[in-house]
């Protein structure tokens, strides 16, 4: 059977041994209820229970094992604005339509929203009142016996209350321990979660460390290669510095050759100018002598030469020019020509010592000398072709600037 609502109450498969019956106390429970009428259930919520919205009160047939075996139920009202450390009186009315129709024994049970029983009443029946249920006292002894039984029951009730209080305290301690256990369980779950996260982070760090180690190995290899390259560059630098030093020494030497040659060339040019001036004077004097010789030849006749010197005419000297004693200016002209030839022969190449003739032009002579030289395109300095290595070293020095 079910109550007037359509929702199923929360139940569980928890057995009687795991239930707590002291947190809710049922009051004024009748031994039997007359069928066909509504039944009001009275109970007390102790300070050991916290009512929640899905708590319910059910009617169970005696002998039930789990809260799933309820006959009918009603939702338990949640009290409002009630201090937690005080007990609360509550009541629920069950409609007659939903109540059992047999005469079996039943009991009220308070079940929380977790499906666990928190209180149970004494058994009762649904049947009409009979004469067997009326107790008739006829003797004083029976009255005394009933008083004694009542006293015993009161004592048992006090003992049960004390036991209930003790059980409530134990239950409170157990709940506290359960709460601590639950907190420890939650802490354990949190620690496990953190441990898993730390393990994942540790695994990630291990992978990253492995990657960094591989990078470090690669960088070590690159560093070793760079060190080797630096050594090679240093060695080549030392070699080039030594070669440059040698080249600079040779350049200094070549510069001093060059200076000596230029000085010698200037001296030769000066000497040539002096010789050319002397040659000009000799040419002018030779020209005068030629003119005088021609004048003398015109004044002499061939007949006079023959009659005066017959012996000479039979064996004439071709070089005498038809004169008896020859041309008196011939020796002087020859000497002048020899002197002029000597002047011309002084134009000698300072590189190959080649002698140039008298009528050679100065530009041709200088072009010949220049053909023996190499000129730097940057600083216009000249070098002999025979010193090609010095010229190459000089060009290389410009590339280092």
Residue 30 in any domain: the answer is: yes
User: pTM of the entire structure?
Assistant: 0.36
Residue with structure tokens 């006292």? 137
CB 282 within 8 A of CB 340: yes
Q: What is the pLDDT of residue 322?
A: 42
Residue 149 in any domain: the answer is: no
Residue 358 in any domain: the answer is: yes
Structure tokens belonging to residue 269: 């040019």
Q: What is the DSSP string of 91-159?
A: EEEE-GGGS--S---EEEEEE-TTS-EEEE---BEE----GGG------HHHHHHHHHHHHHHHHHHHH
| Whether residues 107 and 23 fall in one domain | yes
| Whether residues 26 and 113 fall in one domain | yes
Q: Domain end: 110, 128, 146, which one? A: 128
- Which stretches in the chain have pLDDT values below 70? 1-6, 14-19, 82, 129-140, 142-143, 301-346, 401
| Whether residues 316 and 283 fall in one domain | yes
Q: What is the pLDDT of residue 301?
A: 55
pLDDT in tens, 101-124: 998 999 999 999 999 999 999 999
pLDDT in tens, 140-161: 676 677 778 778 878 877 888 7
| Whether residues 320 and 395 fall in one domain | no
Residue 53 in any domain: the answer is: yes
Q: What is the pLDDT of residue 164?
A: 74
Residue 213 in any domain: the answer is: no
Domain count, the chain: 3
| Whether residues 290 and 379 fall in one domain | no
| Whether residues 260 and 327 fall in one domain | yes
Q: Domain end: 96, 128, 160, which one? A: 128
Go through the chain and tell me how many residues it has. 401
Q: Domain end: 324, 346, 368, which one? A: 346
- If you ran DSSP here, which 8-state letter would residue 320 be given? G
Query: Residue 97's domain is classified under what CATH number?
Result: 2.60.40.2840
| Whether residues 264 and 361 fall in one domain | no
First CA to last CA distance, the chain = 111
| Whether residues 310 and 391 fall in one domain | no
| Whether residues 392 and 287 fall in one domain | no
Q: Which residues contact 354 (CB under 8 A, 6 or more apart)?
A: 348, 368
| Whether residues 39 and 115 fall in one domain | yes
Range of the domain at 284: 255-346
Residue 242 in any domain: the answer is: no
């Amino acid at each position: 059977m079910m109550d007037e609502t359509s929702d199923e109450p929360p139940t569980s498969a928890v057995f009687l041994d795991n239930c707590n019956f002291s947190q809710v106390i049922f009051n004024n429970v009748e031994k039997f209820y007359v069928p066909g009428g509504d039944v009001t259930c009275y109970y007390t919520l102790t300070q050991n229970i916290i009512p929640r919205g899905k708590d319910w009160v059910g009617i169970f047939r005696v002998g039930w094992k789990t809260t799933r075996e309820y006959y009918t139920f009603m939702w338990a009202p949640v009290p409002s604005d009630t201090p937690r450390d005080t007990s609360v009186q509550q009541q629920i009315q069950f409609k007659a339509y939903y109540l059992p129709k047999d005469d079996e024994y039943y009991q009220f049970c308070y079940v929380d929203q977790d499906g666990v029983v928190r209180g149970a009443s004494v058994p009762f029946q649904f049947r009409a009142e009979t004469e067997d249920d009326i107790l008739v006292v006829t003797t004083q002894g029976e009255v005394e016996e009933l008083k004694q039984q009542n006293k015993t029951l009161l004592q048992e009730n006090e003992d049960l209350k004390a036991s209930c209080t003790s059980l409530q305290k134990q239950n409170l301690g157990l709940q506290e321990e359960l709460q601590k256990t639950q907190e420890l369980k939650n802490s354990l779950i949190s620690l496990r979660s953190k441990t898993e996260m730390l393990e994942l982070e540790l695994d990630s760090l291990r992978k990253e460390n492995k990657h960094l180690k591989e990078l470090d190995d690669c960088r070590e290899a690159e560093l070793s290669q760079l060190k080797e390259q630096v050594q090679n560059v240093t060695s080549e630098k030392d070699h080039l510095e030594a070669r440059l030093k040698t080249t600079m020494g040779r350049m200094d030497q070549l510069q001093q050759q060059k200076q000596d040659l230029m000085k010698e060339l200037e001296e030769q040019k000066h000497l040539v100018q002096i010789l050319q001036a002397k040659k000009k004077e000799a040419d002018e004097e030779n020209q005068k002598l030629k003119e005088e010789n021609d004048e003398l030849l015109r004044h002499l006749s061939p007949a006079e030469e023959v009659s005066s010197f017959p012996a000479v005419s039979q064996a004439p000297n071709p070089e005498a020019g038809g004169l008896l004693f020859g041309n008196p200016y011939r020796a002087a002209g020859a000497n002048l020509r020899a002197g002029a030839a000597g002047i011309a022969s002084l134009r000698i190449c300072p590189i190959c010592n080649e002698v140039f003739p008298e009528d050679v032009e100065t530009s041709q002579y200088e072009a010949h000398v220049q053909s023996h030289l190499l000129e730097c395109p940057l600083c216009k300095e000249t070098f002999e072709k025979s010193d090609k290595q010095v010229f190459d070293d000089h060009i290389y020095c410009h590339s280092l600037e």
